Chain A
């Protein structure tokens, strides 16, 4: 991909983001209509897109109860994230740490921070510049699954790498 194409893609993605959700790049319905060939820029088929990062590489890793250690599966996902961030150097990321609802509010905030930091440290160890990676903890305040069973808890104990910025990075 030429540099020109890449810049165009990033600009498109940013433009889309501005239309939807400031500061956060989701993998929204792609198609700005300007694609060439079969790859629609910004879509999950476009390897340089946040949508691809989210869906094809995986934007999150999951943790065992009370733990912040990274499983081999989680490390595999983060390896992919590190490679993507290496290629797409215009992006910065905030890693959001989360906990399930089993636990007190304060402890879960601290636990979420541990998880976010574990993911961040791993990405740094794989070559991502520290100044591109921030962390935040939401504790148990922002579950994505709302049942009170392990099936939901397992998905809530997570660290999510949320891309933002782009050219400024």
Chain B
């Protein structure tokens, strides 16, 4: 019954304007326009031992960072709390939380046994004086404690926005060091928020543009390991890699998985001309998809695998085109001023993110799949290579600064253009690719 009511509320609220601070049910509708971040409190999760309490404090910090990091929520610091949560099961003193304007309250408990970690949490709609959804429990390992925090934050985000979460996800990227003319590159993987960086290759060869498989366990990328650019597949768990295309006299690059996880879409250059191909990753069988004297590259499948968006300069400048997954006559979708590249289909299927170059500036933008409603989200000397968060609401990209000391770093931005922020990485970073939500 409670679920049904909530569902009905969701339906009603999606049509309503963004909530104002203290009216109506607890709800953030992600639309255009500036909204007031929703104030929330997340007291340290409660444990039965000092060790568990310590873990509970860490978990609360990561949950708060996830939520506040979206720009849609604002944390109320614990110094403002009137009442403390000492018992996860005890009734909440709503008046105490209302008094400090905490519209959402997240409480939790944590227990540790060896390397096993169990987390329970509840979300309260303080101003309605009711729990929002039912309490949930997650089990995992102490080593993977950050993932537990991300799962809680995903559930809270999801309940309040009605959107899927994206915190329990990873990003594979190119870690960069050294000056521009001697840059060293190696593949790295990290949590979406920059934690837990691990390196997947060394920097003895140039590596470019890694892309996750649909299940997040493998990565496609381009490497100069064999002397010229070739596409590779790497198993993340085993850290084992193999070259996929060794056709003599060609180079291959810009690989991306099909939604089936077994087909690879990529570019092949032969005799100076670049076209699109697909390959069965198991058999190695290749299919040529375009045969034009122009450059065709940066392909990306629609989430249902039926169509491909890509970049081509057949019109004279690089523009975006969509064609059937099997090839055929493409239709142009970008018509604005400037040059368009690196199109990426959103996981929701509704939009294309791209890089746009116009009047000496670079932008990350989004448009509908028919090219309408183009919206530029960023502007800088060099922004490039968008990748979608699993919920299709946030985009990560690389920004390189100008000049001899230029350095590349990762940023994320909402598809509304709000909440632009840098992701901290140990070295320079480029070519991010966001994983699907982890299981």
Contact = CB atoms under 8 A, between A and B. Distances in A.
A144 B181 contact: yes
B208 A148 contact: no
Interface in A97-115: 101-107, 109-111, 113-114
B272 A107 contact: no
Interface string A141-152: 111111110000
Nearest to B406: A148
B269 A113 contact: yes
A146 B179 contact: yes
8 contacts: A68-B272, A105-B384, A111-B295, A118-B272, A120-B272, A121-B272, A137-B269, A144-B181
A135 to B, nearest CB: 7
Given A107-B297, A148-B406, A102 B209 contact: no
Given A113-B251, A113-B272, A136-B228, A106 B179 contact: no
Given A106-B298, A106-B341, A107-B295, A117 B272 contact: yes
A106 B254 contact: yes
A117 B341 contact: no
Interface in B342-362: 342, 355, 357, 360
A107 B253 contact: no
Given A104-B311, A106-B311, 15 more contacts: A102-B357, A104-B318, A104-B384, A105-B208, A106-B253, A109-B229, A114-B274, A114-B295, A117-B273, A137-B229, A146-B181, A146-B406, A147-B404, A148-B404, A148-B406
Contacts of A103: 339, 341, 357
A106 B297 contact: yes
Contacts of A136: 227-229, 251
A68 B272 CA distance: 10
Nearest to B355: A104
B10 interface: no
Given A102-B357, A104-B384, A105-B385, A110 B180 contact: no
Interface in B253-284: 253-254, 267, 269, 271-274
A107 B229 contact: no
A65 B291 CA distance: 25
Contacts of B357: 102-104
Contact of B180 (A66, A68, A121, A143): A143
A153 to B, nearest CB: 11
Interface in B134-189: 179-181, 183
A141 B183 contact: yes
Interface residues of A, number: 32
Interface string B235-257: 00000000000000101011000
Given A107-B341, A148-B406, A101 B227 contact: no
Interface in B377-411: 381-382, 384-385, 400, 402-404, 406
A72 B34 CA distance: 56
Interface in A19-33: none
A129 B413 CA distance: 52
Interface residue range, chain B? 35 or more
B206 interface: yes
A16 interface: no
B44 interface: no
A116 interface: yes
Nearest to B222: A109
B414 interface: no
Nearest to B382: A101
B431 interface: yes
A148 B342 CA distance: 22
B352 to A, nearest CB: 15
A68 B269 CA distance: 15
Contact of A135 (B272, B297, B298): B272
B297 A110 contact: yes
A119 to B, nearest CB: 10
A104 B179 contact: no
B420 to A, nearest CB: 20
A109 B431 CA distance: 14
Contact of B206 (A141, A143, A146): A141
A142 B181 contact: yes
Interface string A29-68: 0000000000000000000000000000000000000101
A81 to B, nearest CB: 18
Interface string A133-168: 011111001111111100000000000000000000
A113 B298 contact: no
Give 5 closest A-B pairs by Cβ, nearest first: A117-B272, A104-B341, A110-B274, A110-B295, A146-B180
A120 B355 CA distance: 31
Contacts of A114: 272-274, 295
Given A110-B267, A146-B179, A101 B272 contact: no
A106 B251 contact: no
Contacts of A101: 382, 400
Give the most central of B179, B183, B295, B342: most A CB within 10 Å.
Answer: B295
Contact of A116 (B229, B272, B298, B406): B272
Contacts of B209: 105-106
A68 B227 CA distance: 23
A18 B277 CA distance: 39
